[in-house]
């Protein structure tokens, strides 16, 4: 099957005298993905709407595995010509191949599942979090970590995030997908069990911390499990695996301001109540009103 970048290219190259059958696979994939994300039930494709082999195969490859057929011949054709590919671990991970599950020591209190994969020839790290199991407190922590990491992407202090999105997966559950660079490394905890840090390496770790504070990223507490040691030839490079235990200076200011407003509201309420109490005492003292026990 010939491929063209646009309708104009087809016309200029083929100069067709009869109608040309065009298939836009990316549009089919996009439509299937949208339907998967917004329709809560089982999805079937009606073969008679467009029985072209390339269309059906693209739909199958996009995750639709059930079909509505109108004749025995259509059933035979599907059974003979089309074989569903091995089901992807996640239908939301379009464009990522060679997906493999990872087992990590620290796994966000078992609330996430981690994978490696290949995207555009580059190895990536994939974190998948089921949103239905996430509490409001936990959601705020995840949101804070992602926002800080996205801000720090260009600072070279933390593993870079490439993409973040929510998608309804094969099991019809909404999940948060976080795609990061895959860094061949080990934790500082593991490294220091084998080797002692040199003065230069300790200085480099201090520079890492200085860079964060210089850019208004405030580290609340450090864990050697969250610092990655990356080997670059004979030297070492240090990165944070995430910034989930950090805060941005502007966020802390906003929280302090909100707390001050809350205190002011309480003080104002106390003042209003005090005035009301004095008015009631005056009314009782001057016998304008009486109160019976």
Q: Which two tokens stand for residue 126?
A: 């994939």
Q: Answer whether residue 1 is part of any domain.
A: no
Strand partners, 247: 218
Q: Residue 284's pLDDT is what?
A: 67
Q: Are residues 56 and 136 in the same domain?
A: no
Q: Are residues 224 and 160 in the same domain?
A: yes
Q: Are residues 134 and 209 in the same domain?
A: yes
Q: Are residues 49 and 162 in the same domain?
A: no
Whole-structure pTM value: 0.57
pLDDT above 90 coverage of the chain, percent = 21
Q: Answer whether residue 292 is part of any domain.
A: yes
Q: Among 105-109, 140-144, 183-187, 251-255, which stretch is predicted with the lowest mean pLDDT? A: 105-109
Band (pLDDT 50/70/90 cuts) for residue 272 is low
- H helix runs in the chain, sequence order: 7-14, 25-38, 53-61, 72-81, 136-152, 188-194, 199-214, 249-285
Q: Residue 107's pLDDT is what?
A: 43
**205-212 average pLDDT score:** 93
Q: Among 86-90, 176-180, 253-257, which stretch is predicted with the lowest mean pLDDT? A: 86-90
Q: Are residues 256 and 148 in the same domain?
A: no
Q: Answer whether residue 195 is part of any domain.
A: yes
**235-239 average pLDDT score:** 91
Q: Answer whether residue 273 is part of any domain.
A: yes
pLDDT above 70 coverage of the chain, percent = 84
Query: Domain range spanning residue 187?
Result: 96-244
Residue 238 pLDDT greater than 90, yes or no: yes
Q: Are residues 38 and 167 in the same domain?
A: no
Q: Are residues 268 and 240 in the same domain?
A: no
Candidates 141, 156, 146, 241; CA nearest to 190 is 241
Band (pLDDT 50/70/90 cuts) for residue 205 is very high
How many domains does one find in the chain? 3
Domain edge (last residue) among 47, 81, 115: 81
Q: Answer whether residue 181 is part of any domain.
A: yes
Q: Which two tokens stand for residue 50?
A: 């467009």
Q: Answer whether residue 184 is part of any domain.
A: yes
Domain edge (last residue) among 205, 227, 244: 244
58-113 tens-digit pLDDT: 888 777 878 888 777 777 777 766 655 545 566 788 788 888 888 765 444 457 88
Contact residues for 92 (Cβ-Cβ < 8 A; gap 6+)? 33, 165, 167, 168, 169, 175, 177
Q: Answer whether residue 107 is part of any domain.
A: yes
Residue 210 pLDDT greater than 50, yes or no: yes
Q: Are residues 221 and 191 in the same domain?
A: yes
Q: Residue 258's pLDDT is what?
A: 79
Q: Are residues 57 and 170 in the same domain?
A: no
Q: Are residues 193 and 231 in the same domain?
A: yes
Q: Answer whether residue 2 is part of any domain.
A: no
Burial degree of 37 (CB within 10 A; 0-12, 13-18, 19+): middle
Domain edge (last residue) among 81, 104, 139: 81
Q: Are residues 39 and 164 in the same domain?
A: no
Q: Are residues 157 and 258 in the same domain?
A: no
């Amino acid at each position: 099957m010939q491929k063209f970048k646009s309708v104009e290219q087809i016309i200029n190259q083929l100069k067709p005298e009869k109608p040309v059958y065009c298939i836009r696979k990316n549009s089919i994939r996009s439509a299937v993905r949208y339907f998967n994300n917004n329709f809560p039930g089982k999805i079937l494709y009606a073969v008679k709407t467009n029985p072209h082999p390339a269309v059906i195969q693209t739909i199958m490859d996009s995750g639709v595995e059930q079909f509505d057929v109108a004749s025995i011949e259509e059933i035979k054709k599907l059974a003979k010509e089309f074989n569903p590919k091995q089901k992807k671990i996640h239908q939301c991970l379009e464009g990522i191949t060679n997906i493999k599950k990872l087992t990590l020591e620290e796994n966000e209190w078992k609330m996430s599942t981690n994978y490696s994969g290949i995207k555009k020839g580059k190895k990536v790290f994939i974190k998948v979090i089921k949103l239905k199991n996430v509490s409001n407190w936990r959601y705020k922590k995840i949101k804070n970590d992602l926002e800080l990491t996205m801000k720090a992407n260009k600072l070279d202090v933390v593993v870079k995030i490439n993409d973040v999105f929510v998608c309804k997966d094969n099991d019809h559950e909404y999940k948060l997908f976080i795609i990061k660079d895959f860094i061949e490394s080990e934790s500082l905890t593991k490294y220091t069990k084998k080797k002692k840090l040199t003065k230069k390496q300790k200085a480099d770790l201090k520079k890492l911390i200085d860079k964060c504070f210089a850019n208004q990223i405030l580290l609340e507490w450090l864990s050697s499990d969250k610092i990655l040691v990356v080997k670059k030839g004979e030297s070492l490079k240090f990165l944070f695996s995430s910034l989930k235990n950090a805060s941005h200076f502007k966020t802390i200011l906003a929280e302090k301001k909100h707390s001050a407003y809350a205190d002011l509201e309480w003080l104002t309420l106390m003042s209003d109540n005090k005035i009301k109490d004095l008015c009631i005492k005056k009314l009782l003292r001057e016998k304008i009103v009486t109160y019976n026990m």
